[in-house]
Amino acid sequence: MPVTRPALLRLRTLPRASVALLAAGVCLYVASAAVAHDARDAHGAIVRGHATKGRYTGYPLPRFASLRSNHVNLRRGPGFRYRIDWVLHRRHLPVLIFREFHDWRAVRLPDGTEGWIKGSLLAGRRSFVVQGKTTPLRSAPRANAGAAAWLKPGVVGRILGCAAGSSWCRVRVDDHGGYVPRRAIWGVAPHEVIDE
């Protein structure tokens, strides 16, 4: 019987040992891709096979992207012959790309799960997911500004801009626009500048 993660993922049939490894946050890679050296991403996590720019796209690594569809397979390795470990059902969910192999991307999800996704299933649209606790969507980039809405953990929205040196990002969730603190969301690096 499939195991479900609320609103994010659905597990396809896996042996018990694999489920235990995933639960422990261990990711198995069965891929032959060039490995340069270990580095740390914007959140301090070790990124294996890190390079300043992607070997196949020339874009920076690591970098954020989002899911293009409501049905995206997260595979064990970079190819259709690798087993599907998870099926993602959350269009626009942000992912962190940390490795490339031809037209496949190794990604990390907000909960730390890692796997491979076909590049055509990812979009450059910048999005975020609320983490931790319910966060107010402020009408201005200050803690004492009025709240236009309250965003519960797991809410996904679009990032419209994050100014240099600011601890706030301008965002939109459905018809509501406003500001949220960077620390309350996942999908943007601590000092990253986004200007759409």
Q: Check which CATH number belongs to the domain holding 138 and give it.
A: 2.30.30.40
* Same domain as 161, residue 132: yes
Cβ neighbours of residue 8 closer than 8 Å, sequence gap 6 or more: 88, 89, 90, 93, 109, 110, 111, 154
* Same domain as 114, residue 182: no
Q: Note whether 29 and 85 are within 8 A (CB).
A: no
Q: What is the pLDDT of residue 181?
A: 97
Report whether pLDDT(7) > 80: no
Mean pLDDT across 145-160: 97
Mean pLDDT across 139-144: 96
Here the tokens at position 149 are 């809405």
Q: Note whether 108 and 31 are within 8 A (CB).
A: no
Give the C-alpha separation, 107 to 54, whole Å: 13
* Same domain as 36, residue 112: yes
* Same domain as 150, residue 66: no
Domain end call among 87, 108, 124: 124
* Same domain as 103, residue 32: yes
Report whether pLDDT(96) > 90: yes
With cut-offs at 50, 70 and 90, classify the pLDDT of residue 182. Answer: very high
With cut-offs at 50, 70 and 90, classify the pLDDT of residue 163. Answer: very high
Of 140, 145, 137, 146, the C-alpha closest to 175 is 137
Of the listed ranges 40-44, 61-65, 143-147, 167-171, the least confidently predicted one is 40-44
Task: Tally the domains of the chain.
Answer: 2
* Same domain as 152, residue 74: no
* Same domain as 101, residue 8: yes
Of residues 19 and 188, more confidently modeled: 188
* Same domain as 80, residue 47: yes
Ramachandran category for residue 6: left, alpha or beta (phi over 0 → left; psi -120 to 50 → alpha): beta
Give the C-alpha separation, 44 to 15, whole Å: 31
Integer CA distances (angstroms), 154 to 47, 67, 68, 82, in order: 24, 15, 18, 29
Mean pLDDT across 67-76: 97
Strand ranges for 27-173 from DSSP E: 37-40, 46-50, 63-67, 72-75, 84-88, 94-101, 104-108, 114-118, 122-123, 127-130, 135-138, 147-151, 156-162, 168-173
Mean pLDDT across 89-111: 97
Give the C-alpha separation, 152 to 192, whole Å: 24
Q: Note whether 105 and 115 are within 8 A (CB).
A: no
Domain end call among 94, 124, 154: 124
CA atoms within 13 A on the CB side of 10: 12
* Same domain as 119, residue 143: no
Q: Note whether 128 and 188 are within 8 A (CB).
A: yes
With cut-offs at 50, 70 and 90, classify the pLDDT of residue 177. Answer: very high
* Chain mean pLDDT for the chain: 81
Of residues 46 and 73, more confidently modeled: 73
Residue 168 CA, distance from chain mean position: 19
Domain end call among 72, 107, 124: 124
* Same domain as 55, residue 19: yes
* Same domain as 42, residue 92: yes
Q: What is the pLDDT of residue 52?
A: 82
The percent of residues above 90 in pLDDT, for the chain, comes to: 70
Using DSSP's 3-state secondary structure scheme, residue 183 falls into helix
37: containing domain: 4-124
Report whether pLDDT(70) > 50: yes
* Same domain as 112, residue 152: no
Of 61, 85, 91, 59, the C-alpha closest to 73 is 85
